Amino acid sequence: MRSRGFTILELLVVLVIGAVAYSVILGVPLRGPSIADLKAASRTLASGLRQAQSTAMATRRDATLTLDLESREFEVSGTAGTRSLPKGLELKLFTAQTEVASERKGSIRFYPDGSSTGGRITVASGERKYLVDVDWLTGRVSIGD
């Protein structure tokens, strides 16, 4: 006479099917970068802006962070190389008209006293976005939702 219940083999089969279904449903990457990618890109941009401000104050010359929206790269004047941001991000740059080089490229300038032209870089993916703001008077860099 067989007792009622499930065997270990039957339980394992159900768990494996559940795990496969879970990985298919939730494991498929969503369209675009994750929230962690957005936050990391925002922090990278904020770091570059702070570096430009520090460079301007240390060298007593204007320093800029130049952002290429198309290639998703930026560079800080006075430093070697460019930094890349993850693909799939939507970037928008709001800056002074004098700092716009083209439709897809612009800068935020910092002055030797720490002030700047000010501006905002929006890092977005769909409905999710982070705002990297630069105060024109103090040059303070902040990240907001």
User: What's 54's domain CATH number?
Assistant: 3.55.40.10
Number of domains into which the chain is organized? 1
Instruction: For the chain, give the longest Cα–Cα distance.
Output: 91
Whether 16 is covered by a domain: the verdict is no
Mean pLDDT of the residues in the chain: 90
Q: Please check whether residue 13 lies inside any domain of the structure.
A: no
Residue 29 lies inside a defined structural domain of this protein? no
Range of the domain at 86: 35-144
- Compute the average pLDDT of residues 108-132: 94
Euclidean distance between CA atoms 99 and 83, whole angstroms: 19
In degrees and rounded to multiples of 5, residue 27 shows phi and psi of -85, -15
Provide the pLDDT for residue 5. Answer: 76
Task: Dihedral sign for Cα 37, 39, 44, 49, please.
Answer: positive
pLDDT, tens digit, 9 for 90 and up, residues 79-90: 888 999 988 889
pTM: 0.77
CB-neighbour burial class of residue 130 (10 A; exposed 0-12, middle 13-18, buried 19+): buried
For 21-25, 98-102, 126-130, which range has the lowest pLDDT when averaged over its residues?
21-25
Q: What would the mean pLDDT of 105-123 be, rounded to a whole number?
A: 96
